[in-house]
């Protein structure tokens, strides 16, 4: 269970980082995305990334038991 949470959390954190970079206008792909250069997605991406990292921490704690 712990390893699964780590994988899921890491995936969510990566997507959050991707959303942040899109919101900052650093990643301009896909061209039709509504997130591009939209500051709202910088905040949303950061929240998503932090949530993913918290799931990783939870998964590591469960895995140590």
**pLDDT, tens digit, 9 for 90 and up, residues 4-24:** 999 999 999 999 999 999 999
Percentage of the residues of the chain whose pLDDT score is greater than 90: 95
Domain locations in the chain?
Answer: 2-63
Q: Which residues, at least 6 apart from 1, have a Cβ–Cβ distance to it below 8 Å?
A: 59, 62, 63
Residue 64: pLDDT over 90: no
Q: Give SS3 for 34.
A: coil
Residue 25: pLDDT over 90: yes
Residue 34: pLDDT over 80: yes
Average pLDDT of the chain is 96
């Amino acid at each position: 269970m712990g390893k699964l949470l780590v994988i899921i959390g890491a995936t969510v954190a990566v997507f959050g980082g991707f959303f942040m970079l899109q919101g900052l206008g650093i990643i301009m792909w896909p061209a039709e995305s509504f997130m591009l250069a939209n500051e709202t997605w910088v905040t949303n991406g950061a929240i998503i990334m932090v949530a993913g990292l918290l799931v990783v921490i939870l998964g590591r704690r469960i895995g140590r038991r």
